[in-house]
A = this chain, B = another copy of it.
Amino acid sequence: MIRVLLAEDQGMIRGALASLLGLEPDIEVAGEAADGDEALAVAVKVRPDVALLDIEMPGADGLTACAKITERVPACRVMILTTFGRPGYLRTAMEAGAVAFLVKDSPARELAAAIRRVHAGERVIDPGLAAAALSAGPNPLSPRERDVLAAAADGSTIVDIAARLHLSEGTVRNYLSAAIQKTRARNRIEAVQRARTQGWL
């Protein structure tokens, strides 16, 4: 019996996935969590064989939870299940110790198959996505550039960002300009979008 921890913030999806896994005779949902912090707590308590984590969750996201679970519960093998197959997500997931990376676009039957393969010691990664992650290269944004771009993502003005990060306005403009060029964008809006689709934010 493979004991699985299921972390997904949308209740209806979590329940539906639990139902899907419940059909499998050799898989058991040993715990559920609605955010990253809860996922870690439940993983520590129930010691599952496999943790299936969504990335986009409130509070600690799935990638953060992945790193913590890998550290605190090394016997638990972590799989990422996400809506967005962004190259940067895959890269971060691998660095955080994940052994599988699935996208919700895939057919439903692949989920149980992937869990069995992971439990058997394999890694499961979509080949096309792996190629995209490798060809895209690592995140080119410096930490500060990433901070500033992330702060700009919600529509804040330069003055706001400068105040929030304790920088001069000129400095903020400079980082944004650098981010715009590194993302090959024409303005901050495009820069935010490119960075998002690459998983750099």
| CB nearest neighbor in B for A17 | B16
Roughly how many angstroms separate A110 CA and B186 CA in the complex, as a whole number? 46
With A155-B186, A189-B189 known as contacts, the answer to whether A20 contacts B15 (CB < 8 A) is: yes
Q: In the bound complex, do residue B14 and residue A108 qualify as a contact, i.e. CB atoms below 8 Å apart?
A: yes
Most buried by B among A13, A22, A111, A192: A13
Q: In the bound complex, do residue B157 and residue A16 qualify as a contact, i.e. CB atoms below 8 Å apart?
A: no
Q: In the bound complex, do residue A157 and residue B187 qualify as a contact, i.e. CB atoms below 8 Å apart?
A: yes
Q: In the bound complex, do residue B110 and residue A12 qualify as a contact, i.e. CB atoms below 8 Å apart?
A: yes
In which size bucket is the chain A interface? 35 or more
Among the listed stretches A36-44, A63-71, A88-96, A99-107, which one makes contact with chain B, having 4 or more residues with CB under 8 Å of it? A99-107
Which residues in B have their C-beta under 8 angstroms from that of A11? 104-108
A164 at interface (Cβ–Cβ under 8 A)? no
Which residues in B have their C-beta under 8 angstroms from that of A187? 155, 157
20 A-B pairs whose Cβ atoms sit less than 8 Å apart in the complex: A9-B105, A10-B83, A10-B104, A10-B105, A11-B108, A12-B103, A12-B108, A12-B111, A13-B13, A14-B108, A15-B107, A15-B108, A15-B109, A16-B17, A19-B19, A20-B20, A155-B186, A155-B191, A155-B192, A157-B187
Name A residues whose Cβ lies closer than 8 Å to a Cβ of B: 9-20, 22-23, 81, 83, 102-111, 152, 154-155, 157, 185-193
